[in-house]
């Protein structure tokens, strides 16, 4: 069975998860403002009771603080290793505001305690099950402390209210688990190639962008390898598309066996594959490309092209352009960045270009000519340099 590359490494936040968490912040701001507004209305309607001015001031300050959350470096927080701490602190602050308000309003009998259920609903919509259970347990605990320290509430009422909070916590945790599984499945389906289990083009581009952003922030290298199978059309034409599909699945599985678990494997379309190699420089990327070619040579020949950050550029477009140029050169028997010793092979490049022009873009014949050119070059004493970008 082909292993999937859909899930990203722990060091780099998943783009879909980042979008979901950004929406969670928006929903959380609305919820916080709603809690502050409801509290303020209640305080105004019960102005004859004590501590109204203090509670109203506290509610207004909390509302202003909630409205100012977008001013924080939210992208940096979400891309950190522990964004959950931010959300848990937020829920804790909202829970504290509700508890303080209920304490000054008479204790566990205050209707403000009902707002604790809103924090549970928000946690169920946006948190993982473990975090949800933490928020639910905290809500039961703070309510029990409120009942024990403030006022003289009815014991039966406190027990019933606490039981309702606990039951709601369990139900919300179950719903959070369902949401987590659904989001994970949708993310896998939307970003996976159904035939090979590798990333599809969309998923690969997102992974490349995320890894490149991580490399830029941490000043670490990144490798990109493009892989193109030679004469794959011939397999489909002579053995049928079922055999071609089986070969593509084997290619993906073989590539997975060569690279590290932290590397990403994508199928960009047809017989084109690509690798993202985190924390891998140009030399190691070239070595990986060679190992991939050697592993695939058991059943089919392949050409590779390598781009490296920061050597070949700082954007996804730069790396893809560099790797694509190296791949094109390899398919035509040329090498990039190999110095003047290879200049005598310019005739091979010209020959391949002429054949491409005459064949109107069909590359099977020109690939064969390129291979012949390489064979001639080898007979003349040229050897493949280890620094070639096409590996």
Domains (ranges, CATH) in the chain? 15-191 (no CATH), 201-379 (3.30.70.270)
pLDDT of residue 345: 45
**Of 298, 361, 358, 309, nearest to 331 (Cα)?**
361
- Of 12-26, 202-216, 248-262, which range is least confident? 12-26
Confidence of residue 339 (pLDDT cuts 50, 70, 90): very low
Q: Higher model confidence: residue 169 or residue 89?
A: 169
- For residue 186, pLDDT over 80 is answered with no
Q: Which pLDDT value is given to residue 21? A: 77
The answer to which of 124-138, 142-156, 195-209, 348-362 has the lowest mean pLDDT is 348-362
The answer to whether 147 and 158 are in contact (CB under 8 A) is yes
The DSSP string of 253-293 is HHHHHHS-TTSEEEEEETTEEEEEEET--HHHHHHHHHHHH
Residue 299 has pLDDT above 80, yes or no: yes
Q: Are 285 and 277 in contact (CB under 8 A)?
A: yes
Helix (H) or strand (E) holding 182: helix 155-191
DSSP 8-state secondary structure symbol assigned to residue 46: T
Least confident of 4-8, 218-222, 325-329: 4-8
107 Ramachandran zone, left/alpha/beta (phi>0; psi -120 to 50): left
Rounded Cα distance, 265 and 200, in Å = 9
| CA 107 remoteness from chain centre | 45
**Residue-level pLDDT at 212:** 93
Residue 361 above 50 pLDDT? no
For residue 5, give both structure tokens: 């590359």
pLDDT tens digits, residue range 87-117? 888 888 889 888 999 999 989 999 999 999 9
Question: Residue 132's CB: how many other CB atoms inside 10 A?
Answer: 27
Q: What angle do CA 306, 307, 310 make, to 5 degrees?
A: 150
Specify the pLDDT at position 352. 52
- Residue 387: pLDDT over 70: no
Provide the percentage of residues in the chain whose pLDDT is more than 90.
45
Pick the closest to residue 293 from 254, 319, 267, 321 (CA basis): 254
Top pLDDT among 24 and 360 is at 24
Q: Is the pTM of this model over 0.85?
A: no
Say whether pLDDT at 169 is over 90.
yes
Q: What are phi and psi of 50, to 5 degrees?
A: -70, 160
Segment 157-180 shows an average pLDDT of 93
C-beta separation of 265 from 252 below 8 A: yes
**Residue pLDDT, tens place only, 341-360:** 333 443 444 445 445 544 54
């Amino acid at each position: 069975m082909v292993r999937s590359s859909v899930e990203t490494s722990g060091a780099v936040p998943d783009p879909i998860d980042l979008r979901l968490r950004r929406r969670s912040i928006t929903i959380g701001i609305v919820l916080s403002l709603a809690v502050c507004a409801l509290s303020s209305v209640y305080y105004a309607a019960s102005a004859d009771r004590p501590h109204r001015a203090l509670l109203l001031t506290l509610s207004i300050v909390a509302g202003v603080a909630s409205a100012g959350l977008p001013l924080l470096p939210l992208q940096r927080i979400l891309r950190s290793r522990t964004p959950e701490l931010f959300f848990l602190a937020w829920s804790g602050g909202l829970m504290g505001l509700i508890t303080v308000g209920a304490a000054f309003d008479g204790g566990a009998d205050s209707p403000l305690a009902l707002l604790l259920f809103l924090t549970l609903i928000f946690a169920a919509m946006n948190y993982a099950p473990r975090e949800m259970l933490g928020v639910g347990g905290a809500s039961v605990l703070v309510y029990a402390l409120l009942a024990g320290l403030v006022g003289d509430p009815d014991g039966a009422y406190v027990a019933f209210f606490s039981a309702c909070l606990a039951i709601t916590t369990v139900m919300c945790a179950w719903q959070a688990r369902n949401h987590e599984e659904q989001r994970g499945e949708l993310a896998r389906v939307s970003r996976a190639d159904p035939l090979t289990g590798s990333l599809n083009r969309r998923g690969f581009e997102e992974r490349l962008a995320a890894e490149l952003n991580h490399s830029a922030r941490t000043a670490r290298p990144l490798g990109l390898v493009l892989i193109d199978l030679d004469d794959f059309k011939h397999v489909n034409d002579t053995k049928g598309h079922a055999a071609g599909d089986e070969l593509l699945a084997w290619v993906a599985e073989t590539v997975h066996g060569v690279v590290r678990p932290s590397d990403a494997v994508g199928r960009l379309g047809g017989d084109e594959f690509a690798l993202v190699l985190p924390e891998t420089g140009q030399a190691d990327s070239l070595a990986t490309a060679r190992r991939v070619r050697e592993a695939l040579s058991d059943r089919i020949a392949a050409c590779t092209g390598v781009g490296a950050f920061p050597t070949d550029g700082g954007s996804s477009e730069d790396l893809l352009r560099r790797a694509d140029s190296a791949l094109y050169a390899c398919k035509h028997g040329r090498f990039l960045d190999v110095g003047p010793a290879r200049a005598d092979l310019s005739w091979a490049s010209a020959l391949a270009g002429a054949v491409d022009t005459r064949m109107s873009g069909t590359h099977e014949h020109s690939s064969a000519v390129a291979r012949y050119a390489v064979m001639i070059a080898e007979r003349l004493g040229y050897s493949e340099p280890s620094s070639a970008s096409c590996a």
